Structure 1
């Protein structure tokens, strides 16, 4: 387990506790470092932690946001991610990125399918009516690294961004749950830091 150090208070309300679920991904600490830079206090646990352990952490740490990371596997191989999403829906705000986004779709009986693999591809993304993409031009360029996608999105979510017919962002503002198929922490996503900052503002 990794615990981020506290950072100076920021203009949008100060330090926010973030629980970060690591799906054994090489991008994990790019995301962790960006969240720390934006003033978050972070605890990182891998997806093989038990739900019992996780419940104790949530009770003690009281996160304002749970981030579910990218990863090399599929939602069914993502450890506690789907049970976590179902249990804390509407109780703690969530951000799922790439695999985390797919886990959100799978948790509400959506369908995940294979697509042509894209790894390190810069794509033009169109968005509309998105709380976490507010102030970002449409279209914008972002980095994609995936071979699976949300083929059928549950009614629980609104699709707010896409590349062609592939959903790139999903949101349920009432439950404060957000999914991004692209990687905001990638160097290929020019507005990535602003997107993460938007998430923090929305869930504060």
Structure 2
């Protein structure tokens, strides 16, 4: 058993998927506790080495769900660093050379999300990026869409069937049931009337036609979902986060092939 306290504006960790507990201590620190045998640790070393070279950066939009997402990322063996959306600039984020970026849910609209919107515009074209709830709204607004109030009102912990079509490509929703059950917590959506179809493609929707997922037409590693994969209501949420890691690994293979 080891226990490690990580302090400062960056919260960082690598999870080994065995008896994991994550406890927030303050806005600037958390405690990571995990137990793993020496043999288990050695057997995983080679597979974790690549995943610890560069972090997945998580932009925390001051949301209580953020560390649930972090736990999923960590359980997949990935090193991550967490920064509040006003902890650093986009240039500082770029210099960290992240292998992927995850933009968390959060209150308010994209204009209230610190560096999130600018991160989508400046880093999304070259770095795999996964937007969740507010993160998807940032993607929609960054590429010309409007964010509006849902015509069906606020939902908080609503269980909804979500339908998807990724046209046979690898994506965030690959391999999920169709429809799958998703947990929704939002009052805003990307407006269908102003959806920037020249830039983005809708990949998932609800029965009443609300946009639940989208990806960039050119930068296929730039994708987002309106619902919460980390919610217990989303019964295949871990698979969605795993698919994001697969998109990262695909991008890394492409870069290596052309280097």
Q: Contact 2:48–2:78 at 8 Å: present in 1 too?
A: no
Matched, 1:137 2:137: no
Deviations 1:13-65 (A, max 9, x none): 951620010000000100011100111111110111342xx423432x32111
For residues 1-204 of structure 1, the aligned pairs below 5 Å read 1-5=10-14, 7=16, 8=44, 14-15=50-51, 17-51=55-89, 54-59=90-95, 61-115=96-150, 116-129=153-166, 131-151=171-191, 152-155=194-197, 156-163=199-206, 164-172=208-216, 174-175=218-219, 176-204=221-249
TM-score by length of 1: 0.91
Work out the CA distance in 1 between the residues paired with 2:116 and 2:216.
18
**Bigger-Rg structure (1/2):** 2
More contact order relative to length (CA 8 Å, sep ≥ 6): 1
Structure 1 residues 168 and 9: alpha-carbon distance in aligned structure 2, compared to 1, 3 A threshold:
farther
Work out the CA distance in 1 between the residues paired with 2:93 and 2:134.
22
Q: Contact 1:69–1:96 at 8 Å: present in 2 too?
A: yes
Where has structure 1 moved over 3 Å in runs of 4 or more?
6-14
Work out the CA distance in 2 between the residues paired with 1:198 and 1:94.
12
Work out the CA distance in 1 between the residues paired with 2:160 and 2:187.
14
**Shift of residue 166 of structure 1?**
0.6
Structure 1 residues 91 and 79: alpha-carbon distance in aligned structure 2, compared to 1, 3 A threshold:
same
Structure 1 residues 171 and 48: alpha-carbon distance in aligned structure 2, compared to 1, 3 A threshold:
same
**Shift of residue 81 of structure 1?**
1.0
